Each structure stands twice: as C-alpha cells, then as structure tokens.
Amino acid sequence: MASISVTDRAADNIRILAAAMVEKANSGHPGGAMGGADFINILFSEYLNYDPKDRTWVNRDRFFLDPGHMSPMLYAQLALTGTYSMDEVSKFRQWDSPTPGHPEVDFARGVENTSGPLGQGHTMAVGAAITEKFLKARFGDWMSHDIYTFISDGGVQEEISQGAGRIAGYLGLNNLIMFYDSNDIQLSTKTDAVTVEDTAKKYEAWGWAVMTIDGNNADEIRKALDAAKAETEKPF
C-alpha cells in the first residue's frame, strides 16, 4: 500500500490531466472526472487484478464506466498505467483521436465498454457479473474475477439501471462492486429538482449491501472495497 502522500499525489495527477484535457479541447466535463480521481486511483493501483502487459487477459477484473462524459478520469488513469501516451491524451475529443469524448470499447487499452447513454454501463457490468458466475460454475474457481463499475447521479435515475439493480440483487451477484458518485448536482440543476428518493435505501431494498463513505478519502475507499470483496451474498 502506498503512503497517503503518494496516493494523494497520484490522484492529483489524474485530476490535473483530466482538467488539462478538457481545457485543451475547449470541450468536456471536468468536474466528475476530477471528483472520481481518488476512487479510480485506489482501484487501479491496489485492487483491480489485471496484466498491464496483456489487457485482454481473460481472467482480468473488469471496470465499467457508466458516465462516459467522465472519460478524462479513465484516460488519465490508463495513461498513468501505460496504455495511452501523453500525445494521445492531448488529442482528447479531436477528430480521429483514440481518446473520444465518450470512451469506445478497446480491450487492449483497458476500455471495457462503449458508453454514452447513462445507465448502460451499470447494465453492462451486471451482465459481465452474470457471465463470471456462469464461467466459474462451468469451468471452476480459476475463472473467478470481480466486476467493478462507476455510476453517477444521472445514471441511477435511468430506468435501464433500475432493472439492472434489481436483477443484480435478486441473483446475489457478490462479484459486482459499484461506486456511486453521489454529489447531489447535475449539469444544470441539483438532483432534488428531479428526484427525492433515497438511493441507498433503494439499493438495499433490491438486495444490495450498501456503505456510505467520503469518496475523496483514500482510507474510506479502501475500507469500502475491502468490505465489498469480503461480501459473499450480495452485490455491493
């Protein structure tokens, strides 16, 4: 485990790269990408099981980004792990760039899903978790791997994510771990202008284990991920 200062500096690098991408392109959404930097840094550096020399390794853990507009966060993290160059990152949102505004699936670079319409990444992650359960039942524990996903306020409001959340809880997909970036604000309004529901209680009612944390605190992120990996009956 890296020291707190090293961890914070790594997350700050992701924030700086994300902001620089949007600034250079004069287009994009920096806020969410900067806010999620602490989580994605801890996930990729300490928890996600993958081969940096072979991103297509069949037994890798998967990370699905639901809010595609937060792509600068993902590109910055992947650049720091070696699959994107600084030149490619600097061409964010440019014509024929490998770093489009919304990520396009590219397993070799570590992009597990094409994203755009909110809620679809949540659904794809649930599908991947079901697939992992099938493969493990068919071929044995050596096929075991975890599915991680990141969702925002807008994503949990979409109807497609409601169905995904329900089926994940019903099936007891304990191999599914989702980070919900609850910041109570969207592009043009606060979330309470469009919804008054308690998202944590909603997911608990669907059969999920839920933990509320400070998403910018590295220690709390670690505690949540440790608890999620220890969960044996429910998605987290």
Q: pLDDT, tens digit, for every residue of 157-166?
A: 999 999 999 9
Mean pLDDT across the chain: 95
What pLDDT score does 183 carry?
Answer: 84
**DSSP tag of 99:** S
Q: Residue 41 maps to which CATH number? A: 3.40.50.970
The residue-averaged pLDDT of 196-220 equals 96
Instruction: Give every CB contact of residue 26 below 8 A, 6+ residues apart in sequence.
Output: none
Instruction: Give every CB contact of residue 113 below 8 A, 6+ residues apart in sequence.
Output: 64, 65, 103, 105, 120, 121, 124
Which pair of structure tokens corresponds to residue 171?
A: 């099936």
66: in domain: yes
What pLDDT score does 2 carry?
Answer: 63
Task: Please state, in angstroms and rounded to a whole number, the distance separating the CA atoms of residues 148 and 86.
Answer: 26
The residue-averaged pLDDT of 217-231 equals 98
27: in domain: yes
Residues facing 149 on adjacent strands: 64, 178
235: in domain: no
Number of domains in the chain: 1
Give the range of the structural domain holding residue 126, as residue numbers without chain letter.
4-230
Helix or strand holding residue 64 (H, E):
strand 62-65
The residue-averaged pLDDT of 204-221 equals 97
Q: pLDDT, tens digit, for every residue of 50-106?
A: 999 999 999 999 999 999 999 999 999 999 999 999 999 999 999 999 999 999 999
236: in domain: no
Question: CA 22 → CA 104, 153, 158, distances in Å?
Answer: 18, 21, 26
Helix or strand holding residue 165 (H, E):
helix 159-171
Question: CA 77 → CA 4, 10, 65, 221, distances in Å?
Answer: 18, 9, 12, 17
Q: Which residue has the higher pLDDT, 3 or 185?
A: 185
User: What is the value of pTM for the model shown?
Assistant: 0.95
Helix or strand holding residue 169 (H, E):
helix 159-171
